[in-house]
Amino acid sequence: MRIVAVILWLTFCLSGQTTPRSTAQHKRTAAAAAKVSDAEIEQTLKAKLAKSKMAANAFTFKVSNGTVTLEGKANVIQHKGAMTRMAKTAGATRVVNNIQISEEAKAKAREKLASGRRRAQVKRGEPRSQPR
């Protein structure tokens, strides 16, 4: 057992690597190092927004030095977070989200919270919670 450990240690030392995985090989580090221009971010974000169901909400955005500033009104609370994620995946380094949530959406969310949360199904044979 000890001989196997020594052989593995020597193999590792002689390979020239100081760590099992160098930072240059790490996917997140490599992706973060790739700088995306403002024009590319804007073009990608426009394409993503056109494909999504949120296009009808007419969100506007500005790109400056990798920072995307989002503006508009949303009738669904989740659209605000979805727009932030969409901007990040388009290559934005920072997102300023100034999207306003409508009072209808806030009231609907309060109503859902007041009606109670659905419990998780623990076992396959266990009946599901009652539909609303």
Question: Domains in the chain, start-ordered, CATH in brackets?
Answer: 34-114 (3.30.1340.30)
Q: In what order do the strands lie in the sheet with 60-64?
A: 60-64, 67-74, 94-101
Measured in residues, the chain has a length of: 132
pLDDT in tens, 22-41: 544 445 544 554 688 999 99
pTM for the whole structure: 0.61
SS3 content of the chain, % helix, strand, coil (to 5): 50, 15, 35
Q: Report d(CA 78, CA 53) in Å as an integer.
A: 12
pLDDT in tens, 56-101: 667 899 999 999 999 999 988 999 999 999 999 999 999 999 999 9
